Amino acid sequence: MAQSTNVIQEGVDRFRDAFGTFEDELARVQKQLQARRKKIEKRFETGRKDLEKRIATERKRFERRTQKLRSELGKNPAFKRLETMRKDATKQFEQGVSDVLGRLQIASKSDLQRIDRKISQLSKKLKEMDGTKSTNGRAKPTA
């Protein structure tokens, strides 16, 4: 019986040793994983910053090229002629719309805005006049 107790005790001791080794091994693996995670995060952050710098540089380069092309295009006689034609066409269209609205006796947007401003001014003056009539016609309330 002593021998069976001894065997059981040896088994328990082996289990404790194995479990202790397991805890140590688990702690070591956790440290390794944390170190790897930090390296990956650092590498990711560095890559992100590099990418942001490259994007900013490319954006500036693209903007400079675009501005250069715009200025070159603005100097082109054909473009200048097209711009003049567009402005002339816009004026003609606006004049045509104005003529049609005038013949149909329909107020344009600018006419309506002008009328609205006049009505606002008249309403303001009317309120001022009502305010002066009410104070002139009645006794002032005492406090």
Count of Cβ atoms closer than 10 Å to residue 79 Cβ: 13
Examine residue 7 and state whether it is found in any structural domain, yes or no. yes
Residue-wise pLDDT for 95-114, tens only, equals 998 888 888 888 878 888 99
Reported pTM: 0.40
Examine residue 24 and state whether it is found in any structural domain, yes or no. yes
- CA 46 to CA 35: how far, in whole Å? 17
Give the DSSP letter of residue 138: S
Examine residue 38 and state whether it is found in any structural domain, yes or no. yes
Examine residue 101 and state whether it is found in any structural domain, yes or no. no
Enclosing domain of residue 50: 1-75
| Structural domain count of the chain | 1
The average pLDDT across 76-97 equals: 91
User: Among all chains, which residue has been given the structure tokens 């005790």?
Assistant: 9
